[in-house]
Structure 1
């Protein structure tokens, strides 16, 4: 079983528009409502493939109740922890070319007692877990060291720990020796203190994360694919998408695909790329199921050209925003 913890979950409303014009009346061409937050999305993608997952989330108010109801409807084991703050709502405005304008609420604060209850729920669920995945931004009141401290406790229990976050929380988590870290291009740049313009830049920054404590780094590069780095070296692959509809949650689907390979026996980088690309082809933050995934489109390069420049399309299309 794979346990996910999302300290700052949300309800994600995706609104498709023909063209976004600031200050104008814009009519929607489509809309959908999904449970959101990076760890939540990982659990949803795993569940869509019949892989057992458990989502630990703080819950408060009517929005929290609706979040839990939507997750339960997708067949996910939800450990909802009552907290004092309010569960947030996010809005994504998606244009036909795949450009996403995302508006995220900050989320309600978690008190020390709230956080203690959530961590207790994670540790309880982890007793039967192969992986615990901690993903997303931290709500107000939560220390940057929370993922690092959780990771150390899980390592002591013999449970593998994956992290997908940014900033100080990511830097602190690296020192705890996570089994897997999944940064995006901007997070690589932030962690390394340098711009990421080529595959070599991305691989170098990922290797620095390994040197800092991570056992494996899956670095997602948006439309340019992904680099997988561990102590054995670096691999690169891509899965081109034509006519993508929404990149929201694509990085979460990529992380879920990587983890799923440990269950199904598939190649981890191939699964990661094919699941991430499948999410881009779907509306809103819908997570892909087996029928959506096309592994034949994945190209793994055993000896990649690391001098290759990156397109920057991950920034243009809003790929990989921390939720």
Structure 2
């Protein structure tokens, strides 16, 4: 149904990744392996935190939420990407596209807020160790987690509703492997000034403000660590923060590289590659970072497996 130079779009065609046809099977196997690693790695952390009573602390409650968010975040885009890599016509319905965009924004924003909460937890643990249990009470921890999920629900819903009001031109080819908000806005025939204004305002709330809060937390943490006379104390403090700092650097580094670096002539390719970094690579690396750099997780893994081995031996 045409309306002048506009049309009612019933579906979008996802251009996908810039992969040569003869390399498609190789990349399909690679992305499938990465998704399974992401899914199983984050699921393992959630199970360990649930089973091991030593990990029933605020820090690991936040980590379990982060792992669940990473697990869902990768599930929003990668299964569809794998399906499209095996399809001759990689299409997605209009409603499905908006749904994918909503959940993509939702879980990305949740991760940003959870990283702030985890930074605050480390700040209190290192700068106010004697008051940690009082400050980080179960009620406060639950409130911070609930607030993170509720805020992102409304932010993602607002973006989705503003996108739904737009009209789209006859060109329905999205130069991406998922329904990215910026890619959809380029196809719109309607006035997108309101969308851009909301993106600018909420982008500051979701990305810039959390990053500044994390940065200020670690400035104070480092300042407090340097006052510790014991070299062992300094190593222990940096060890507890190392995993979180690695994840923060990976998450915000890719986002800033995508949205703040100047665009080049191959901006579409650059956007796609950077999007792969924070939608596929980052959620996959997080479990490894927390497992390899965290003695508590290693200890929990040994205890759980030892317990299961003993139970299996007794059952024989």
Q: TM-score, normalised by structure 2?
A: 0.25
The structure with more radius of gyration: 2
Structure with the bigger percentage of helix? 2
Bigger relative CO (Cα 8 Å, ≥ 6 apart): 2
Q: TM-score, normalised by structure 1?
A: 0.25
